[in-house]
Structure 1
Amino acid sequence: MDTAFVLYDELTALDLVGPYETLAAHASVRAHFVADRVGPVRADNGLTLHADTAFDELPRPDLIVVPGSSRWRDALANTALVSWLRSASPTATWTTSVCTGSLLLAEAGLLTGRPATTHWGVHDVLAAYGVEVRDERVVRDGRLITAAGVSAGIDMGLTLAASLWGEEVARVVQLMLEYDPQPPFDSGSPARATPETLAAAVALMG
């Protein structure tokens, strides 16, 4: 299964790495880190990743994983990426996104009139594309799966793993990752964060 883990300048690394860790170890997965060019790609917080495949070298992947970016406005202007998504997704078995990666899918015209989720801070932006925005951790609509912000990419990966290989395999992957969230603070969503925490987060996101 040719799997395109999409890279582009200023992506959020955990958006990509979370799904990668849940999927890539399976024997059926042939992982490709794809971008508009082969070479280094710098994430939004400075981590450097490496693209090993150019978009034109993988026109028909079986699975697409699109991470988001804190600098999503710049990402939406990446015409090479959006054009590749528009052409590659229709023939893919699965197209997935994490966080603001769903905005890229929407920009490519893939989510119009469909349910999807994204980071809570850009619900209104996604809705402006004619998307039925859901306030859920993971939303599956046929062969499209979208995840909410950043860490939800792990949930998306496990959801997809269960669809691909069965629930027991996904449970084993979860255990191997020791994915047993017990955060020290109960502020992981706008509904539970204090007004002060929410205001500070909104300010940081600009």
Structure 2
Amino acid sequence: MKRRQILDLAAVSAALATLQTLGGCAQDDSAPGPSPATPEGESSAVQHIAMLVYPGFTALDLIGPQTAFSMLENTQIHLVWKTLDPVTTDSGITLFPTATFGTCPEQLEILFVPGGVAGTIALMTDGEVLDFLAARAEQASYVTSVCTGSLVLGAAGLLRGYRATTHWAMREVLPILEAERVDARYVEDRNRVTGGGVTSGIDFGLRLAAKMRGEEAAQAAQLVMEYTPDPPFEAGTPESAPAAVVERITGLIAADVAQARQAAEQATARW
């Protein structure tokens, strides 16, 4: 049984009777007519969401919020890259972009950047990517990221003077990009919304879903996703993880942090 059928049977909300199934990136490009399920006073116009994909990004950074967004009616998700060639994530999953920088809509409801490590650091000094983000951000309702995606936004000059977060291991890089570092899982400052590391993308996606379509729509999405975290260990933050584990991971990523700092310094020279 598909998610749409589950929601219809549960009568979660009339506004969600036409929920899209996962795979919103393959939706029909034609704009639908007014939907009888659209709440009174709410626009039925399609809202475009651009989610950057690139070699070496972390799949869950994208898939968490993409799943939440794909359940919202009157939205179209674009997976955007320089070309339509396949893109492989840092875990070996390959996917296909659905739009290029040239074909991505200019008017966006959400502009989103996922994180990663080596692939993300490379983007921080990629002028073509940074210029694209800066241009689309001018007309986006929300400029957003999860994990180290905020470092790419920052490299494009889009977090200057904004409160922001990122993966705990990379938070020290944010001040170099003239962002105000916040040690939190989710940070909203005006129309800039940044999530912490990887799994925070699910929280992030549901929060934005609530802002776009209301709390009931986001709660329905959360229910269908059965998102009720119950981790087997209290090791998800440096404060809760055993000291030996934190020390080991910190040592493993020290070189990456140094490279990110260097990339941030190079990026600021473009401004």
Is the TM value for this pair above 0.5? yes
Indicate the residue corresponding to 1:135 in structure 2: 183
Give the drift of 1:29: 1.1
By percentage of residues, which structure has more strand? 1
Please report how far the alpha carbon of residue 97 of structure 1 lies from its aligned counterpart in structure 2 after TM superposition. Answer: 0.1
* 3-state SS of 2:111 partner: strand
> In the alignment, what sits opposite 1:43?
89
Query: Tell me, what secondary structure is at the counterpart of 2:51?
Result: strand
Q: Which runs of 5+ in 2 are unaligned?
A: 1-46, 256-271
| Structure 1 portions without partners, runs of 5+ | none
SS at match of 1:125: helix
Paired residues of 2:65 and 2:204 also in contact (CA < 8 A): yes
The aligned runs of 1:35-74 (5 Å cut-off) are 35-60=81-106, 61-71=108-118, 72-74=120-122
Distance 2:196 2:243 in 1: 21
1:21 aligns with 2:57: no
* Cα distance in structure 2, aligned partners of 1:176 and 1:80: 38
What is residue 190 of structure 1 aligned with on the other side? 238
Aligned length: 206
The match for 1:84 is: 132
Residue 33 of structure 1 aligns to a residue in which SS?
strand
Dislocated runs of 4+, deviation >6 Å: none
- What is the Cα deviation at residue 149 of structure 1? 0.3
Equivalent residue for 1:5, pick from 36, 51, 58: 51
TM-score of the two chains, using structure 2 as the length reference: 0.74
Aligned residues: percent identity? 37
Secondary structure at the counterpart of residue 173 of structure 2: helix
CA–CA separation in structure 2 for the residues paired with 1:21 and 1:118? 21
CA radius of gyration, larger in: 2
TM-score normalised to structure 1 length: 0.96
Q: Does 1:118 align with 2:151?
A: no
How far, CA to CA, are the matches of 1:145 and 1:26 in structure 2?
Answer: 19
RMSD, aligned CA: 1.1
Aligned residues of 1:7 and 1:35 also touching (Cα < 8 A): yes
Question: How far is the alpha carbon of 1:131 from its aligned partner?
Answer: 0.8
